[in-house]
């Protein structure tokens, strides 16, 4: 399984992406807490990162625990893979932005940047 990046775990734990990020964190929490004695792992690390969502060492520990558990539990691995795909769609401010306006005269508001949310031009 592809490792979950520390940056992604920090972003989601820290509330990046607004409501979408909060929902992703809740889904990960539910997935991790659905443990059995045979497949336990990650709850301590998850709780630790919840307490300090900006602690990179705690995010690294959670990422390692998730990978280890995914190796032992195929159902968890499937759920984690699905969660990871959803989380990767959440843009958290990393990466480049290239904005282009072309095609003649443009009228109306224009925002250039990335990762906008909660914008309403109609008042």
Tell me the per-residue pLDDT of 45-78, one tens digit each, with 9 for 90 and over: 999 999 999 999 999 999 999 999 999 999 999 9
Both tokens assigned to 15:
């509330």
Establish if 78 belongs to a structural domain. yes
Helix axes 74-89, 19-33, angle to 10 degrees: 170
User: Residue ranges of the chain with pLDDT lower than 70?
Assistant: 91-97, 113-119, 121, 123
Establish if 15 belongs to a structural domain. yes
- Which range of residues forms the domain containing residue 11? 6-89
Establish if 16 belongs to a structural domain. yes
Establish if 35 belongs to a structural domain. yes
Tally of domains within the chain? 1
Alpha-carbon distance of 1 to 120, in angstroms, equals 40
For the chain, give the number of residues.
123
Return the pLDDT at 21: 87
Establish if 49 belongs to a structural domain. yes
Establish if 109 belongs to a structural domain. no
- Model-wide pTM > 0.85: no
Establish if 27 belongs to a structural domain. yes
Query: What percent of the chain lies above the pLDDT cut of 70?
Result: 86
Return the pLDDT at 105: 84
Establish if 71 belongs to a structural domain. yes
């Amino acid at each position: 399984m592809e490792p979950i990046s520390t940056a992604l775990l920090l972003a989601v734990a820290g509330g990046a992406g607004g409501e979408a990020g909060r929902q992703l964190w809740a889904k990960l929490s539910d997935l991790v807490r659905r443990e059995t004695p045979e497949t336990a792992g990650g709850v301590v690390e998850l709780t630790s990162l919840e307490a300090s969502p900006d602690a990179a060492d705690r995010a690294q520990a959670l990422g390692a625990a998730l990978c280890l558990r995914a190796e032992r539990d195929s159902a968890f691995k499937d759920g984690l893979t699905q969660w990871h795909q959803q989380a990767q769609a959440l843009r958290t401010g990393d990466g480049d932005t290239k904005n282009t306006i072309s095609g003649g005269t443009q009228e109306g508001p224009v925002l250039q940047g990335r990762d906008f949310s909660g914008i309403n031009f109609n008042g």
